[in-house]
Amino acid sequence: MEFIAPVDAVFLLAESREQPMHVGSLQLFEPPEDAGADFAARVHAELLRSTDVDPTFRKHPATLFGSPQMAWTRADHVELDYHVRRLAVPAPGRMDQLVELASGLHSSLLDRHRPLWEFHLIEGLADGRFAMYSKMHHALIDGVSAQRLLRRTLTSDPASSTTRVPWHLPRGRRRRESGAAGPARNLLSAAASGASVLRAARTALTRQQLTLPFAAPRTMFNVPIGGARRAAVRSWPLERLQQVKKASGSTLNDVVLTMSAGALRRYLIERDALPDKPLIAMVPMSLRAEDDDETNGVKVGAVLCNLGTDIADPLDRLRVVAGSMRDGKDVYSTLSCNQTMALSALMLSPLALNLVPALISLTNPTFNIVISNVPGPREPMYWNGARLDATYPLSIPFDGQAVNITLTSNAGNLDFGVVGCRRSVPQLPRLLDHLEESLAELERATA
């Protein structure tokens, strides 16, 4: 038994039927030419034979001192045919039917009496492709490490037929800290750095470098939500965004955020719901080193970014976004990893008010939306000889934050996954159309 780090425990304490706290991914694969009609069935059978399960994938909450959120215990036996399932899209097997199936899977809670993960192999698409929908609890793994974990199951060799499964991969290069020692050490370090964090926060506030909590306007996204989810996914050629980046002298992430800002502006104008003040996005920053392959816990900081949604001109909006991100990063660049986590927690601490739904309507939102860009593979990747066509991240809407935009790179594409509360965000797929319109607008402005 090991104690749960406080930052991880928050995702268990905050979870409810209306607010599932798992991160997901929908991967789309093209089988090899000689695969045969039973390819997915054979892959599923091979997965079930991979019975060696890493300790992280045996963890579920233990009851300690009457609370089920304070410590982890590990299952002696993992029932793989529960955690690894085979499903099919109904006829005629369209892509929108696959996404609808994934939306339903993403809406349901993970069973806390079992290890907190599931994988669903999905076949039946009319074009012959198959998909893998996965979900893992955010208390167990953060979004960046989940994407890295899935990436480690892939290979750049199309001829490789070795089945690599997420629940049993070679141990990472960085030594795993077990028990309470690692989280305790992080907490002590963060506490010891409290004075420097407060100095950094004071300096940032004096220079007005940080976008602050409660500066966000109230929007139709910042309401209590229900448990049902709707997902929408689409891919864009990376080269299109790279051209805007080069022409504007900004970063790729600045272009992504501005593209998203333009889409949100159009979506809200369409519903006569655009506020006069600019929307504020929480942009997660991974604090994991590039060689950190471990899966334990959450290592994420946060920047609050002014999206400039009150600005009609796309280049002016891009300048505002770039400046806001630059100022936020300048503050964090002077801090250690633990100090960054501590300052991020200080910035996001008002979010705790969202744990009391009745208070959501009484305060301005801490921020309006989460927009997360997770780096992915830069070359074509394969799994069991099948080519990875797309990998759509599906993240977490929560009370007061009814929609989430997460994307990842995959070879020459950027794969967007938009997830929203089914009740609060009508016609969610329209955001995909607006993302395309927003990118085209930036391309015209920088041509």
The residues annotated as belonging to the active site are: 138
**Residue of 436, 403, 103, 362 whose CA lies nearest to 273:** 403
Report how far apart, in Å, the C-alpha atoms of 266 and of each of 171, 173, 269, 298, 311 are. 46, 45, 5, 34, 12
Radius of gyration from C-alpha coordinates of the chain: 21
In DSSP terms, 392 is beta-bridged to 26
Q: Name the residue with tokens 């002077």.
A: 334
Q: Name the residue with tokens 């506030």.
A: 205
**Token duo for residue 269:** 């104008």
* C-alpha–C-alpha distance, residues 206 and 68, integer Å: 42
* C-alpha–C-alpha distance, residues 83 and 93, integer Å: 24
The DSSP annotation for 8-45 comes to: HHHHHHT-BTTB--EEEEEEEEE--TT--TTHHHHHHH
- Residue length of the chain: 447
Q: Name the residue with tokens 């986590």.
A: 341
Q: How many helices (H) and strands (E) does the chain have?
A: 13, 15
The answer to whether 142 and 262 are in contact (CB under 8 A) is no
In DSSP terms, 385 is beta-bridged to none
